[in-house]
Amino acid sequence: MSYLPHTEADVKAMLEAIGVERVEDLFQDVPESVRFPELDLPAALSQMEVAWLLENMSDENLPGGKTAIFLGAGTYNHYIPPVVGHIIQRGEFLTAYTPYQPEVSQGTLQAIFEYQSMITQLTGMEVSNASHYDGATSLAEAAIMSYSHFRGKRSKLVLCSGIHPEYRDVVRTYMQGMDVEIVGDESCWVDMDKLVEHIDDNTAMVAVAYPNFFGEVDPIEKAIQAAHEHGALAVVVADPISLGLLKPPGWMGADIVVGEGQGLGIPMSFGGPFLGIFATREAYVRKMAGRLVGETKDKDGKTGYVLTLATREQHIRREKATSNICTNQGLMALSAAIYLSVMGKHGLRQVAELCYHKSHYAADEIAKLDGYKVFRDKPFVKEFVVECPLPVEEINAYLLENYSIIGGYDLSKRYPERERQMLIAVTEMNTRDEIDTLVRALAEVAE
């Protein structure tokens, strides 16, 4: 029976058993300069004092619910109905893990099935998995799936420059070590005609964003059609909230639809955990990573749910697995399922329409200001680009310091060519007063 040594004799016996004389000898492999650092630790505090300290530290934060947020660029401040948090905090959901004996977990399976059903309706696709870490990993899995579909015989991936830059980074990371050429994503401007020129008979995947990173709605059908003319798979990176207003990608012929599901009842939470949406055609289902739940009948004719497909290597032979990077995102998928069921198709459309009208009101008012230019060459739903008279970093500092407003995304951080351009997101959470205050503050900056 093992135990922890608690007397000097015990320690001595342990050291003799492993062949050293002193405890210090156990650390010989650690450089002497960092072996036994002297830590300048503060005096011990009671539990009550620690609570006070942490509360004072938290007061330094600016909670999202206490300020106007116009920052999007992939993570959005959407309303979350209280019922979402109430249900996901139930013990049977909050502590659940991947169902290795799935048919015992009928509640979990039904929740996943309902999520899949609503995602397929939203995207216009035939099957959906549940699910991935975030939108970036979903796109990366789509790239791997497309490459695998052609068994490596096609080695070109065409990524539209309108896809979130971090998504494109993740795709390049995933595809390291494969004989793959990634093209089409070098420009800071989105041009479907130029994108189509990259597509040829060696192309495995063509991926476009809908709307794109700059908030614009591009004519993606042109790229989808060109992909199919060359036998490639067409992938659409879609914003699920915008799909409450826009034509579903599946209706335009998309083979795979991926996206970030954070806006579907999941808080911003400093950047995660999020939800990677992945939907495809039934013809490609066996190449799809993740889990697929199906509905059936038991021997008594009662409705039951089964894990129809699980392509993780823990479930099947490793050589048959598609991807092991797919942990249990069931809680995030459940959040989205609750949100979608509560909102319904009419509620989701209303959210998208609110985003549309409020963002266009903001764009109209900002366009009236001297020194500002709003890019309106293409339609947009909830995000738009503004050219500013000063560096965006300075403007955002002014907004935060004087109005406690979190401004838009500084595009020059990622695109040096787009200096002094701000990507502004307006959602249903932004009131008219907040928008008017933003416009007034921007006018003050220009003066």
Q: What pLDDT does residue 41 have?
A: 86
**315 in the same domain as 169:** yes
Range of the domain at 381: 64-79+345-446
Q: Which of 305, 339, 373 marks a domain boundary?
A: 339
Least confident of 203-207, 212-216, 299-303: 299-303
Structure tokens at 376: 């309106």
Closest CA to 151 of 178, 129, 126, 177: 178
Within a domain: 125: yes
DSSP label at residue 412? G
Give domain status of residue 385, yes or no.
yes
Q: Which of 318, 339, 360 is at the close of a domain?
A: 339
Same domain for 157 and 109: yes
Q: Are residues 227 and 288 in the same domain?
A: yes
116, part of any domain: yes
Q: Give the pLDDT band of residue 327 (cuts 50, 70, 90).
A: low
Q: How confident is the model at residue 1 (pLDDT cuts 50, 70, 90)?
A: very low
176 shares its domain with 321: yes
Question: Looking at the 3D structure of the chain, how many domains does it have?
Answer: 2
Full 3-state SS string of 271-320: HCCCCEEEEECHHHHHHCCCEEEEEEECCCCCEEEEEEEECCCCCCCHHH
One domain, residues 103 and 221: yes
* Verdict on whether the full-model pTM lies above 0.85: yes
Task: Give counts: helices (H), strands (E), the chain.
Answer: 12, 15
The rounded percent of the chain whose pLDDT value lies above 90 is 72
| 333 and 384 fall within a common domain | no
How many Cβ atoms are within 10 Å of 144's Cβ, its own excluded? Answer: 21
Query: CA torsion 26→30→35→40, rounded to 10°?
Result: -120
Give me the chain's average pLDDT, please.
92
CATH number reported for the structural domain that contains residue 92 in this entry: 3.40.640.10
Per-residue pLDDT of 96-130, as tens digits, reads 776 667 788 888 889 999 999 999 999 999 999 98
pLDDT tens sequence across 211-260: 999 999 999 999 999 999 999 999 999 999 999 999 999 999 999 999 99
Pair 363, 281 in one domain: no
Beta strands in 1-72 (DSSP E): 68-69
Task: Judge whether 322 lies within some domain.
Answer: yes
- The string of pLDDT tens digits covering residues 120-168 is 999 999 999 988 899 999 999 999 999 999 988 999 999 999 999 999 9
Q: What's the mean pLDDT in 386-405?
A: 97
* 322 and 198 fall within a common domain: yes
Note whether 266 and 296 are same-domain residues.
Answer: yes
